[in-house]
Amino acid sequence: MLSGLVIVDKPQGWTSHDVVGRMRRLAGTRKVGHAGTLDPMATGVLVLGINKATRLLTYIVGTSKTYTATIRLGQSTVTDDAEGEVTYTTSAAGITEQEIYDGVAALTGELQQVPSSVSAIKVNGERAYARVRSGEDVKLAARPVTIHRFDVHAIRRDAAASVVDLDVTVECSSGTYIRALARDLGNALGVGGHLTALRRTQVGPYTLDQARTLEQLAEELNVLDMSLAARALMPNRELTAEETAEISFGRRITAGTAPGTPGAATAEHPAAGFAPDGSLVALLADAGSYAKPVLVFAPGNGAAATAAAEA
């Protein structure tokens, strides 16, 4: 059965669900999922898992992301991006370069970010964007995010429109809204702001260089083997033939690293265990003097499943 990751270069105007639907038809299976949505306006890296590889998506969702974007200062919109109605306009002509760089610096590091009100976050069981569209004034709670890098590459001034466009690169933690970053920068500068372009260039270890368009994938379905995907994603542990046999049946083996020490595998951040032939056997977590399987992929345990560790 075909299993692995597909790194898609998502086209503009498509939802992540649209891309999943297309991949289901291309791969001939219903078991396809994605590791974190991209807004319809955005393009770039969307990581999909096929069949057993969907089990890896949980560990990809929480990785850091990198984007290139264009932020427009001088206009605010209801969606914080170019797809929404403009709600506020003022001249940004007086904003200096130093003020821009100071504003960007203030939005770098650990932040409490309020997501865009038209995000997919659920409020009492309903998506926030659905509540906004029905006329409700939605206020979302701030959440911790980390902006590892916020670089300004170009500052372009449009004298006729009195707006300033910034071309930027943002590397951030999972859960960060780049639209909200644009909004907050504009508000901090007193002129409002929104996102006019967004392209995701990296998700964890997977980059735009590996991505293929849907047209390319229709011609040749380029699937990243599960073993290669896991090697890039998490710490590796090479297993002996005896350890491979034990893990294949959900049994414990000697720990790779002592718990609490740097590099120790946990259930949330497991290590990938590989058989002598290089195939992915299981995801492992260290517990005391033992390592126990979190997920087993080896044939010895049938289909990939959560393994019950020995007491």
Q: CA-to-CA distance for 298 and 168, rounded, in angstroms? A: 44
Q: CA-to-CA distance for 75 and 67, rounded, in angstroms? A: 21
Structure tokens at 3: 């299993």
Verify whether residue 39 is a known catalytic residue.
yes
DSSP reduced 3-state for 105: helix
For residue 307, CA distances in Å to 18, 133, 246, 252, 295 come to: 33, 44, 12, 10, 6
Structure tokens at 211: 């991505």
Which of the residues 9, 39, 81, 286 is marked catalytic? Answer: 39
Reported as type and span, the H/E element at residue 165 is: strand 163-172
DSSP reduced 3-state for 260: coil
Return the CA Rg of the chain.
Answer: 22
Which residues are catalytic, by number? 39
